[in-house]
């Protein structure tokens, strides 16, 4: 079956531009996560949805970052007025929320470069 897909795969934005990154999770997966991965580091948690409810946004680095999942499947991460420090790979993951199974399935990521 299809895995998690993300688009675009690569995005170059001028400083100050707004960007929108899309995530299509595995069909039927209840949970959806966004992570940010800086070069040479591990992914860091940004935000988490259960269906359409955003249950945790404690990892969002500033109020320029906004995420939504209005119908409980596709999610969009929006970054307003991008800054150079926003340059990173943005990873989306989904999970079926089955009891005892906590692995998350990751998409290929969107590499954002802010110039």
Partner 1 sequence: DQQVKQNSPSLSVQEGRISILNCDYTNSMFDYFLWYKKYPAEGPTFLISISSIKDKNEDGRFTVFLNKSAKHLSLHIVPSQPGDSAVYFCAASQKDTGNMLTFGGGTRLMVKP
Give which of 97, 93, 90 is closest to 111, Cα–Cα.
Answer: 90
DSSP 14: -
Stretch that binds partner 1, among 14-22, 66-74, 79-87, 103-111 (CB under 8 A): 103-111
Between 5 and 17, name the residue whose CB sits nearer to partner 1.
Answer: 5
The residue within the footprint of partner 1, chosen from 15, 55, 98, 113 (CB under 8 A), is: 55
The alpha carbon of 102 is separated from its chain's Cα centroid by a whole number of angstroms, namely: 18
The residue within the footprint of partner 1, chosen from 21, 48, 67, 114 (CB under 8 A), is: 48
What's the token pair of residue 79?
Answer: 């970054």
Q: Is 91 in the site for partner 1 (CB under 8 A)?
A: yes
Total residues at interface with partner 1 (CB under 8 A): 28
Beta carbons of 109 and 90 less than 8 angstroms apart: yes
């Amino acid at each position: 079956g299809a895995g998690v897909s993300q688009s675009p795969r690569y995005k170059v934005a001028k400083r100050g531009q707004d960007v929108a990154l899309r995530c299509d999770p595995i069909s039927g997966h209840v949970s959806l996560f966004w992570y940010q991965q800086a070069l040479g580091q591990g992914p860091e948690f940004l935000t988490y949805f259960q269906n359409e409810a955003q249950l945790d946004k404690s990892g969002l680095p500033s109020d320029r970052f906004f995420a939504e999942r209005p119908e409980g499947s596709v999610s969009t991460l929006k970054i307003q007025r991008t800054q150079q420090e926003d340059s990173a790979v943005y990873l989306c993951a989904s999970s079926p929320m089955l009891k005892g199974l906590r692995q998350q399935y990751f998409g290929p990521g969107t590499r954002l470069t802010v110039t």
